[in-house]
Amino acid sequence: MEVPGSCLAAVERALDVIARKTPDINAFAFLDPERARREAESGAHASGELACTPVGVKDVIDVAGMPTRAGSEVLPSRPADHDATVITRLRQAGAVVIGKTHTQEFAYGVVTPQVANPRAPGHIAGGSSGGSAAAVAAGMVPLAIGTDTAGSVRIPAALCGVVGLKPRSRQVPLDGVVPLAPSFDSCGPIAASVHEVRRAFEVMAARPLPMDDGSAAGLRLGVPSSTTLGAMDDTVCDVFDYAVERLTDQLGFEFHPVEMTPFEEWIPPRAVVQMTEALAVHEDAGWWPDRRDQYGEEVAENLERGRRFSAIEFLRAERTLNHLVAELGEVVGSVDALVLPTTPIPAPTRAEVNATEPGSPRRPVVNALTRLCAPANIADLAALSVPAGTTGDGRPIGLQFVAPDEVVVLRLGRMWESPV
């Protein structure tokens, strides 16, 4: 992730692209160009694994001196006093924080309505890390940080045609990060290539990864059946079929068809647990219901739904998820990784998901976009989304690798990206 020239030149280039493209993309919620310039000029960021790398940070992560609003009117606009640990690590590695990227309110959704998709004008960027993915896809910054509770790094990465990693939940510290559902939350990088994502993850996790020998020998890929995957857009199906053929016939991976409970069946119990945990977060923080009138309607509706679940419903949902996680664990344990589409549909139009009349497609879109991503959060697996193709009108389609460890998904992603 090296940027030629001085740190200041790298920062100025990033700020110039942001200024030119913000009217169309609107990826950033807050910028601090003067501080970025001062840091670049100081020389403190001229060395390290991410030396002179401009970074966008999702606006649920504390950056000292910048407000953390989580895309909401609920939180005050005062600057954070301290960097989250993940930001401290990025700075120590030489990264320069440019600003905070837009998120859907409290990271609770898959649209990020403020942000436009740089690769598919008129369509959503995805969410909730939509500003981070859009900033990378638009060339504003080479690296952005997001959070992922049910696909919030991978969904926008897929829809915007970039690379996004969801690490296992505690690989990257979550202190200084506004939680959504703590049992499922994780923090990961978004960049234009697997190499850049890998380097950022090593810094964020303070974990050097072993060298990748680039060999597919003996690696077994599990490919879920169409019944397991559920309904998918025709073009997504075509791209996925091509990806499986390329992985096996051209790259030499072993193909293993796998069957398990359809991913659709994870949705109801996951909703119960996620909504209940989110409600607890907001009540414990003193935000809900005291500031009810400051919430957007989608988050408020989800919190209201969380209040209606009984203890028995929560326990039943947990029991169901535990069964599904055990089944998924057995399947993943029988292969080296699963390969599946990141999302079963390409990016919908912004007009479609922003509709407010009765019968609005927002909820079906949320369920569709999270269906193939959320199980990795619930089972605490590593997952990587890489670009795999496009629709006829140019909308990106993502391919997802899921495995028990980040090393495996990054190795598979690198081979997919650079089969040499």
Supply the pLDDT for residue 44: 84
Catalytic residues: 58, 128, 152
| Whole-number average pLDDT of the chain | 94
pLDDT tens digits along 145-199: 999 999 999 999 999 999 999 999 989 999 999 999 999 999 999 999 999 999 9
pLDDT band at 360 (very low <50, low <70, confident <90, very high): low
Question: Which residue, 41, 147, 143, is CA-closest to 84?
Answer: 147
Find the distance separating the first CA and the last CA of the chain, reported in whole Å.
Answer: 20
Supply the pLDDT for residue 215: 73
pLDDT at 221 over 50: yes
pLDDT band at 138 (very low <50, low <70, confident <90, very high): very high
What is the pTM assigned to this prediction? Answer: 0.96
Q: What percent of the chain has pLDDT over 90?
A: 89
200: CATH: 3.90.1300.10
pLDDT at 377 over 80: yes
Supply the pLDDT for residue 420: 52
Supply the pLDDT for residue 350: 87
pLDDT tens digits along 167-178: 999 899 999 999
Supply the pLDDT for residue 330: 97
Number of structural domains (the chain) is 1
User: How far, in Å, CA of 135 to CA of 117, rounded?
Assistant: 9
Query: Is the bond preceding residue 348 a cis peptide, omega within 30 degrees?
Result: no
pLDDT band at 419 (very low <50, low <70, confident <90, very high): low
Supply the pLDDT for residue 4: 37
pLDDT tens digits along 261-316: 999 999 999 999 999 999 999 999 999 999 999 999 999 999 999 999 999 999 99
pLDDT at 361 over 70: no
Supply the pLDDT for residue 412: 96
pLDDT tens digits along 64-108: 999 999 999 999 999 999 999 999 999 999 999 999 999 999 999
pLDDT at 335 over 80: yes
Q: Is 173 helix (H, G, I), strand (E, B) or coil?
A: coil
Q: Where are the extended beta strands (E) located within 319-395?
A: 337-341, 382-390
pLDDT band at 2 (very low <50, low <70, confident <90, very high): very low
Q: What percent of the chain has pLDDT over 70?
A: 97
Range of the structural domain that residue 133 is part of: 1-420
Supply the pLDDT for residue 213: 72
**What are phi and psi for residue 311, nearest 5 degrees?**
-60, -40
pLDDT tens digits along 381-402: 999 999 999 999 999 999 999 9
pLDDT band at 3 (very low <50, low <70, confident <90, very high): very low
pLDDT at 115 over 90: yes
pLDDT at 231 over 80: yes
Supply the pLDDT for residue 212: 79
Residues 6+ away with beta carbon under 8 Å from 132: 27, 56, 57, 58, 101, 144, 145, 146, 153, 156, 190
Burial label for 349, CB within 10 Å (0-12, 13-18, 19+), is: middle
Cα→Cα distances 344→190, 263, 339, 362, 397, Å: 20, 11, 13, 15, 9
Q: Is 106 helix (H, G, I), strand (E, B) or coil?
A: helix
pLDDT band at 113 (very low <50, low <70, confident <90, very high): very high
User: How far, in Å, CA of 266 to CA of 359, rounded?
Assistant: 23
Cα→Cα distances 76→72, 73, 87, 229, 405, Å: 9, 7, 21, 42, 37
